Amino acid sequence: MRQSGRSTDVDSLATGLARDRFPLLARTIGDRPLHYLDTAATSQKPEAVLAALAHFYRHQNANVHRGLNTLAEEATEAYERCRRRVAGWVGAPDAAGVVITRGATSSLNLLAHGLEHLLLPGDEILLTEMEHHANLVPWQMLARRRGLQLRFIPVRDDGELDLDRLPELLGERTRVVSLVHASNVLGTVNPVAEVADRSRQRGILTVVDAAQSAGHLPLDFAAVGADFLVFSAHKAYGPMGLGFLVARPEALERLEPLEGGGEMIEWVDLESSTWAEVPRRFEAGTPNVAAAAAFPAAIDLIEELGAPAIRRHEAAVTAYALDCLQDLGGLTIYGPADSERRGGLVSFWDPLVHPHDLSTILDRHGVVVRAGHHCAQPLHRRLGVPATTRASFGLYTRRDDIDALIEGIRDARKVFAR
Amino acid sequence: MRQSGRSTDVDSLATGLARDRFPLLARTIGDRPLHYLDTAATSQKPEAVLAALAHFYRHQNANVHRGLNTLAEEATEAYERCRRRVAGWVGAPDAAGVVITRGATSSLNLLAHGLEHLLLPGDEILLTEMEHHANLVPWQMLARRRGLQLRFIPVRDDGELDLDRLPELLGERTRVVSLVHASNVLGTVNPVAEVADRSRQRGILTVVDAAQSAGHLPLDFAAVGADFLVFSAHKAYGPMGLGFLVARPEALERLEPLEGGGEMIEWVDLESSTWAEVPRRFEAGTPNVAAAAAFPAAIDLIEELGAPAIRRHEAAVTAYALDCLQDLGGLTIYGPADSERRGGLVSFWDPLVHPHDLSTILDRHGVVVRAGHHCAQPLHRRLGVPATTRASFGLYTRRDDIDALIEGIRDARKVFAR
Amino acid sequence: MTEGPQDALYREVVLDHHRHPRGARPLERFDVQASGKNPSCGDEVTLQVAFDGDRIAAVGVLSQGCAISTSSGSMMAELVVGRTVEEAAQVAERFKKVMHGDDVPAEVDLGDLEALTGVRKFPVRVKCALLPWITLLDAILARRQGRAASDRVMDVTFEERS
Amino acid sequence: MTEGPQDALYREVVLDHHRHPRGARPLERFDVQASGKNPSCGDEVTLQVAFDGDRIAAVGVLSQGCAISTSSGSMMAELVVGRTVEEAAQVAERFKKVMHGDDVPAEVDLGDLEALTGVRKFPVRVKCALLPWITLLDAILARRQGRAASDRVMDVTFEERS
Ligand SMILES: Cc1ncc(COP(=O)(O)O)c(C=O)c1O
Ligand SMILES: Cc1ncc(COP(=O)(O)O)c(C=O)c1O
Q: Rounded to a whole number, what is the distance in Å from the CA of B300 to chain C's nearest CA?
A: 24
The closest ligand to the CA of A239 turns out to be 2
Is residue D158 assigned to a domain? Answer: no
Number of independent structural domains in chain C? 1
Q: Name every residue whose Cβ is closer than 8 Å to that of residue B180 and which is 6 or more positions away in sequence.
A: B128, B130, B131, B132, B135, B190, B208, B209, B211, B212
State whether residue B31 sits within 8 Å of chain A by CB. no
Is C125 within 8 Å of B96 when comparing Cβ atoms?
A: no
Is residue C116 assigned to a domain? Answer: yes
pLDDT mean over C129-136: 94
Q: Which of A32, A373, A418 sits opposite C42 (nearest CB)?
A: A373
pLDDT mean over A387-416: 96
Report the pocket of ligand 2 as residue ranges, CB < 6 Å: A 103-105, 132, 134-135, 180, 184, 209, 211-212, 232, 234, 375; B 262, 285-286
DSSP tag of B270: S
Long-range pairs for D136-142 at CB < 8 Å and ≥24 separation?
D136/D34, D136/D47, D136/D49, D136/D76, D136/D80, D136/D88, D136/D92, D137/D89, D137/D92, D137/D93, D138/D34, D138/D36, D139/D32, D139/D33, D139/D34, D139/D47, D139/D49, D140/D49, D140/D85, D140/D88, D140/D89, D142/D32, D142/D34
CATH of the domain at D35: 3.90.1010.10
Q: Rounded to a whole number, what is the distance in Å from the CA of B366 to chain D's nearest CA?
A: 10
Chain B residues with CB inside 8 Å of D42's CB? 372-373, 380, 386-387
* The pLDDT of residue D7: 64
C32, C139 Cβ separation under 8 angstroms: yes
Ligand 2 pocket mutation, candidates B64, B259, B283, B286, criterion most atoms within 8 A of CB: B286
Q: Strands across the sheet with B388-392, in order?
A: B332-333, B345-349, B388-392, B370-372
pLDDT digits (tens, 9 = 90+) for A167-200: 999 999 999 999 999 999 999 999 999 999 999 9
pLDDT digits (tens, 9 = 90+) for D7-25: 678 888 999 999 999 999 9
* The pLDDT of residue B6: 43
Is C39 within 8 Å of B266 when comparing Cβ atoms?
A: yes
Confidence of residue B154 (pLDDT cuts 50, 70, 90): very high
Q: How far is the CA of B229 from the centre of ligand 1 (A)?
A: 13
Size of interface B-C (CB pairs under 8 A): 36
pLDDT digits (tens, 9 = 90+) for C22-35: 999 999 999 999 99
Ligand 1 pocket mutation, candidates B111, B212, B213, B288, criterion most atoms within 8 A of CB: B212
Q: Strands across the sheet with D43-52, in order?
A: D55-64, D43-52, D32-38, D149-153
Q: Which of C2, C4, C44 sits opposite A364 (nearest CB)?
A: C4
C59, C76 Cβ separation under 8 angstroms: yes
In the CATH hierarchy, which fold is given to the domain comprising B50-303? Answer: Aspartate Aminotransferase; domain 2 (3.40.640)
Side-chain-facing half-sphere of C21: CA atoms under 13 Å: 24
CATH number of A12-46+306-416: 3.40.50.300, 3.90.1150.10, 1.10.10.10, 3.40.50.720?
3.90.1150.10
Distance CA A389, CA A355 (A): 5
Residue B415 has pLDDT above 80, yes or no: yes
Distance CA C45, CA C77 (A): 13
Instruction: Name the neighbours of D, counting chains with at least 3 Cβ pairs within 8 A.
Output: A, B
ipTM of the assembly?
Answer: 0.92
Q: Which of B354, B373, B408 sits opposite D4 (nearest CB)?
A: B408
Query: SS3 string of chain D?
Result: CCCCCCCCCCCHHHHHHHHCCCCCCCCCCCCEEEEEEECCCCEEEEEEEEEECCEEEEEEEEEECCHHHHHHHHHHHHHHCCCEHHHHHHHHHHHHHHHCCCCCCCCCCCHHHHHHHHHHHCHHHHHHHHHHHHHHHHHHHHHHCCCCEEEEECCCCCCCCC
State whether residue C90 sits within 8 Å of chain A by CB. no
Is C124 within 8 Å of A356 when comparing Cβ atoms?
A: yes
Please count the other Cβ atoms lying within 10 Å of the Cβ belonging to residue A126.
Answer: 24
The whole-model pTM stands at 0.94
**Cα dist from B256 to B93, B101, B131, B275, C89, whole Å:** 21, 15, 24, 9, 35
* The pLDDT of residue B25: 98
Q: Which of A63, A240, A360 sits opposite B288 (nearest CB)?
A: A240
Residue D157 has pLDDT above 80, yes or no: no
Q: What are phi and psi of B139, to 5 degrees?
A: -75, -35
Point out the ligand 2 atom lying closest to the alpha carbon of residue A107.
Answer: 11
Residue B254 has pLDDT above 50, yes or no: yes
Amino acid at B201: Q
Residue with CA closest to ligand 2 atom 16: A184
Confidence of residue D5 (pLDDT cuts 50, 70, 90): very low
Provide the residue ranges of all domains of chain A, joining segments of one domain with +. 12-46+306-416, 50-303
Mutate to test the interface with B, among A53, A63, A125, A240 (most CBs of B within 10 A): A240
B205, with CB counted inside 10 A (0-12, 13-18, 19+), is buried
Chain C residues with CB inside 8 Å of A415's CB? 4, 7, 10, 15
pLDDT mean over B316-333: 97
Q: Which of A261-270, A356-365, A396-405, B6-15 has the lowest mean pLDDT?
A: B6-15
pLDDT digits (tens, 9 = 90+) for A274-296: 888 999 999 999 999 999 999 99
State whether residue A356 sits within 8 Å of chain B by CB. yes
Is D4 within 8 Å of B414 when comparing Cβ atoms?
A: yes
Amino acid at D127: K
Active site annotation includes A324? no
| Cis ω for the linkage preceding B279 (within 30 of 0) | yes
Q: How far is the CA of B65 from the centre of ligand 2 (A)?
A: 14
Q: How far is the CA of B134 from the centre of ligand 1 (A)?
A: 6
**DSSP assignments along B294-309, one per residue:** HHHHHHHHHHHH-HHH
Point out the ligand 2 atom lying closest to the alpha carbon of residue A232.
Answer: 10
* The pLDDT of residue C154: 63
Distance CA B335, CA B329 (A): 17
A360, C125 Cβ separation under 8 angstroms: yes
Is residue D66 assigned to a domain? Answer: yes
pLDDT mean over D35-41: 82
Confidence of residue B219 (pLDDT cuts 50, 70, 90): very high
pLDDT mean over D126-141: 93
SS3 state of residue A122: coil
* The pLDDT of residue D4: 41
Closest CA relative to residue A363, chosen from D139, B218, C52, B70: B70
* The pLDDT of residue C124: 77
* The pLDDT of residue A418: 65
Confidence of residue B266 (pLDDT cuts 50, 70, 90): confident
* The pLDDT of residue B418: 65
Chain C CA closest to residue A374:
C40
* The pLDDT of residue A66: 65
Residue B235 has pLDDT above 60, yes or no: yes
Annotated catalytic residue: which of A118, A193, A375, A385? A375
pLDDT digits (tens, 9 = 90+) for A45-78: 999 999 999 999 999 999 987 668 899 999 999 9
Is A260 within 8 Å of B34 when comparing Cβ atoms?
A: no
State whether residue A259 sits within 8 Å of chain B by CB. yes
Residue ranges with strand state E in A237-356: 243-247, 265-268, 273-275, 332-333, 345-349
Amino acid at C135: T
Cα torsion A113, A116, A122, A128 to 10°: value is -40
Distance CA A289, CA A91 (A): 22
Residues of B serving a catalytic function are 375
* The pLDDT of residue C103: 74
Mutate to test the interface with C, among B98, B266, B274 (most CBs of C within 10 A): B266
Confidence of residue B33 (pLDDT cuts 50, 70, 90): very high
Q: Which residues on neighbouring strands pair with residue B38, listed in sequence order?
A: B392
Residue with CA closest to ligand 2 atom 14: A41
Residue with CA closest to ligand 1 atom 15: B211
Q: State the residue range of the domain holding C115.
A: 5-147
